[in-house]
A and B are shown apart, each in its own frame.
Chain A
Amino acid sequence: MRYYIGAEARLRRTVEDVAMSVFEGWNYEEVITPSVDYYDLFEQGMGQREAQRGFRFTDNDGRLLALRPDVTSSVARMAATLLSERPRPLRFCYAAPVFRQQAQSPAEWRRENTQLGCELIGAGGKPADLEILRLAAEILSRLNLQTRYCITINNVEIFNGVAAQMNLTPEAREQFRSLIDTRAAAELQQFLQDYDSREGHAFSQPTQLTGTRTVIQTARHLITNARSVAALDSLDELWTEIESLGLQNSFEIDLGNVSSLDYYTGLSLKVFVHGAGTSVGRGGRYDGLTGSFGRAEPAVGFVLNLDALTEVLGREGAQQ
């Protein structure tokens, strides 16, 4: 629960305007979605575990409503229903508050935060992935964060391929995922002892998960299953494009980013900025999402946290 007064409110508005003008420059249309909608929508869109973090209440007739915990669900449904006849691809952007119950964790005290986000629906493959990475990079550099941000990229199919090849039970898969997510090297090695899998070890050295192209090369020595190799190839190609745009200093590969696996289907990204203790943005490809609203098509997007960006920039302004 946070108030913005005077100069802070102006700064926040400027950050929002910068992001929205970059989106507009890339032909993203602004969309405003309902703040309150039926809970079912968000469960379909985000999966039960995430949607349950939304604030829920009942309508007059007893149906369950929720304050929107994300915008993507609404945009995906809109694309699949209201706009099903429109020619693809669709490009949408928004600046909208979302509401989530937070774990009792010290850094995530905010129930409400404003997402600056975009969705590119009906376009698959490398060009679409690259487009949203360039968009994110452009917004951050227009905010004068050029040398101080880092966007990490991964392809979740690398993990999925290895997990499938190891034939894990759902519980073991979740344990494996969580050990990689927290970089718990010792526990991970212990976990892998029970599985006769060379490939799993690709994730067991924290120092080999993060970096530039060498990360992919190292992983290739251990990972040979077709599904993961295809994902490594596509990550490799994306990295080549990033280099040719001269953006390699602002990007990093992070094979250990396996945080929202049931949501993302390919590219996944996180945004970090010096001065912010947690990530200030995330996104990726979610080709499975629109299908749950009746029209399966590729989709990719990201969100930046307006409040976190405002805080970093505001603190800087105060120091100058």
Chain B
Amino acid sequence: MITIAIAKGRMQDGALALLSRAGIRVSEDAINSRRLALKDETGQYRFIFVKPADVPVYVEHGIADCGVVGRDVLLESEADLLLPLDLGIARCRIVVAAADPEAMTKVQGMIRVATKYSQIASAHFGARGIPVEIIQLSGSVELAPALGLADVIVDLVETGETLRENGLTVVEEIAESTGRLVVNRASYQLKTEEVMRLLDTLTTAK
């Protein structure tokens, strides 16, 4: 049996739909229950639903053999995982946004960046030698510029609606993010057949 950790939230619906197209089905009742660990109808797969940032943790420890999680989360974590498949689900962009489109050139000295993604943000600005102060938040990042906590934000954007409603525009795009299948290194070697079968079915279904 293979255990697959799935990121709760945006990723979950896309992941379950894709799995169902691949013939790996979980009953409606099970999904609607509050259980955090479920088996599929054939009993070949067990799913666990965890917070996105915890998916790399479960998979790196080998508690889950595979995981479905956004690239944004992987860029932020330093977990050592295999990334064999881009599932193409939950597509979005990681961007720099600000109230003033010229913010990046106008701010003198040090730019204050509010974000949930401190690794991605510091790597992005660091690579270009722009001095920044990273302000780590855990949600509602769009508020920060309006209230004067930060000059710009680094955040995930799907439609751009939330940004617009808070008077922000995209200044730069850092990376695109989609759902990825990640695999534990030991499981890849020790459960090769099962992992390859999953890879093949998902590749065909996506």
Whether the pair B190, A274 counts as a contact (CB closer than 8 A) is: yes
Whether the pair A186, B85 counts as a contact (CB closer than 8 A) is: yes
Interface size counted on chain B using CB atoms at 8 A:
27
Q: Point out which of A152, A187, A206 has the most chain B C-beta atoms below 10 A from its C-beta.
A: A206
| Chain A residue at minimal CB-CB distance from B183 | A183
Whether the pair A182, B63 counts as a contact (CB closer than 8 A) is: no
Interface 9-mer from B73-81, B89-97, B159-167:
B73-81
Mask: chain A, 161-184; 1 = CB below 8 Å from B; 0 = not: 000000000000000000000111
Complex Cα–Cα for A107 and B62 (A): 9
Residue A297 is within 8 A (CB to CB) of chain B in the complex: no
Complex Cα–Cα for A211 and B193 (A): 10
Q: Point out which of A103, A105, A211 has the most chain B C-beta atoms below 10 A from its C-beta.
A: A105
Whether the pair A184, B84 counts as a contact (CB closer than 8 A) is: yes
Interface size counted on chain A using CB atoms at 8 A:
28
Residue A106 is within 8 A (CB to CB) of chain B in the complex: yes
Residue B45 is within 8 A (CB to CB) of chain A in the complex: no
Residue B173 is within 8 A (CB to CB) of chain A in the complex: no
Whether the pair B189, A252 counts as a contact (CB closer than 8 A) is: yes
Complex Cα–Cα for A104 and B190 (A): 25
| Chain B residue at minimal CB-CB distance from A270 | B189
Do A185 and B78 form a contact, CB below 8 Å, given A150-B189, A252-B192, A277-B62? no
Point out the residues of chain A lying under 8 angstroms from B85, CB to CB: 185-186
Point out the residues of chain B lying under 8 angstroms from A272, CB to CB: 185-186, 189-190
Whether the pair A106, B84 counts as a contact (CB closer than 8 A) is: no
Point out the residues of chain A lying under 8 angstroms from B115, CB to CB: none
Do A183 and B83 form a contact, CB below 8 Å, given A105-B60, A107-B60, A278-B60? yes
**19 contacting pairs across A/B (C-beta < 8 A):** A104-B78, A105-B78, A107-B62, A150-B189, A182-B81, A182-B82, A183-B82, A183-B188, A184-B83, A184-B84, A254-B189, A272-B189, A272-B190, A277-B60, A277-B184, A277-B186, A278-B185, A278-B186, A279-B185
Chain B residues near A (Cβ < 8 Å)? 56-57, 60-63, 77-86, 183-186, 188-190, 192, 196, 199-200
